[in-house]
Chain A
Amino acid sequence: MADPMKIRATMMGDKVVVKVLMAHEMETGQRKDSAGKTIPAWFIQSVTATHNGKTVLSAQWGPAVSKNPFLEFRFSGGKAGEKVIVTWTDSKGDKRSDEATIT
């Protein structure tokens, strides 16, 4: 099981600013190990963020997103105390979902 994400959701005016730091290797499938064998690709393919059951951002990623990916986005319609849920799925089918309370 992957390590939890760090999610911060803060009100800035009438917008919610969401910053997410995920823990993931994001292996490109292009690197080789010390024995010269290619390390198979392993990366987050899709990311979804929801707020009150509504999707506020969905993303598809390739292996070119950096290791331990960072993501920031902003949406309106949120209030302090409500929750933002972020879910990712990687190329091995692993999933991780974490939530944060808007402050």
Chain B
Amino acid sequence: MNESRRNLLQASGGATVLALAVSVGLFKSGVAHSQEWNKAAFDTKNLQDTVKALGGAAAVESKEITITSPDIAENGAVVPVSVTSRLGKTESISILVEKNPNALSASFDIPGGTEPFVSTRVKMGQTSNVFALVKAEGKYFFATKEIKVTLGGCGG
């Protein structure tokens, strides 16, 4: 586990490697089967670009969104993150980690009848702000929370 995290941290030029792999054609079969996957959004680096790639204008900060997670994550490979929205007509919830090579971790569509709540686990390369981006009534809102990732094994 430690070994893999170190590698994750060392690989700074990862995004270009991924782009290269796509151009070489490694992903051909994958791409054919997942045309709906929003590659543009997953390739973006920061919050505003991600909002744009998801088809919205600027996002507004909202107190109606709650991010539940530990303040300090001892293992950056497994960081539990839950997002709850109290905004009416929440259509989608996305989880972004600002300092990851690609900010967007996961994006959830919330159909009517499903609670505007999701809980999952994400990877974090380093201490970073985590954003929850919520689309409600066609507008984008966000909340943010800093999660510290301890690098050593002693769980400081």
- The chain A residues found within 8 Å of chain B, CB to CB, are 15, 26, 28-32, 38, 40-41, 45-46, 54-67, 69-77, 89-93, 95
Minimal beta-carbon separation of A60 from chain B (angstroms)? 5
Cβ contact within 8 Å between B114 and A64: no
Cβ contact within 8 Å between A73 and B11: no
Minimal beta-carbon separation of B6 from chain A (angstroms)? 9
**Interface residue from A30, A38, A46, A95 paired with B37 (Cβ < 8 Å):** A46
A94 to chain B: closest residue by CB: B33
A54 to B112, CA, bound (A): 10
12 residue pairs from A and B, CB less than 8 Å apart: A30-B14, A32-B7, A55-B111, A58-B108, A62-B106, A65-B120, A70-B119, A73-B118, A75-B113, A77-B113, A89-B34, A91-B30
The 10 A-B pairs of least Cβ separation, nearest first, read A30-B14, A93-B33, A30-B11, A72-B119, A64-B105, A66-B121, A91-B30, A75-B114, A74-B115, A31-B7
Specify which chain A residues have a CB less than 8 angstroms from the CB of B26 in the assembled complex: 40
Cβ contact within 8 Å between A57 and B111: yes
Minimal beta-carbon separation of A71 from chain B (angstroms)? 5
- Asked if B87 is at the interface (CB within 8 A of a chain A CB), the reply is no
- Asked if B136 is at the interface (CB within 8 A of a chain A CB), the reply is no
- Asked if B38 is at the interface (CB within 8 A of a chain A CB), the reply is yes
If A59-B108, A65-B123, A92-B30 touch, whether A45 touches B37 (CB-CB below 8 Å) is yes
**Interface residue from B14, B33, B120 paired with A28 (Cβ < 8 Å):** B14
A59 to B118, CA, bound (A): 10
Specify which chain B residues have a CB less than 8 angstroms from the CB of A90 in the assembled complex: 30
A52 to B17, CA, bound (A): 42
**Interface residue from A31, A57, A69 paired with B114 (Cβ < 8 Å):** A57
Minimal beta-carbon separation of A42 from chain B (angstroms)? 8
A62 to chain B: closest residue by CB: B42
- Asked if B104 is at the interface (CB within 8 A of a chain A CB), the reply is yes
Q: A15-B115, A46-B37 are in contact. List 9 more A-B contacts (CB 8 A).
A: A28-B14, A30-B11, A32-B7, A59-B107, A59-B108, A59-B109, A64-B102, A64-B122, A71-B120
A30 to B77, CA, bound (A): 13
Cβ contact within 8 Å between B123 and A59: no
- Asked if B18 is at the interface (CB within 8 A of a chain A CB), the reply is yes
B4 to chain A: closest residue by CB: A31
**Interface residue from A58, A73, A93 paired with B119 (Cβ < 8 Å):** A73
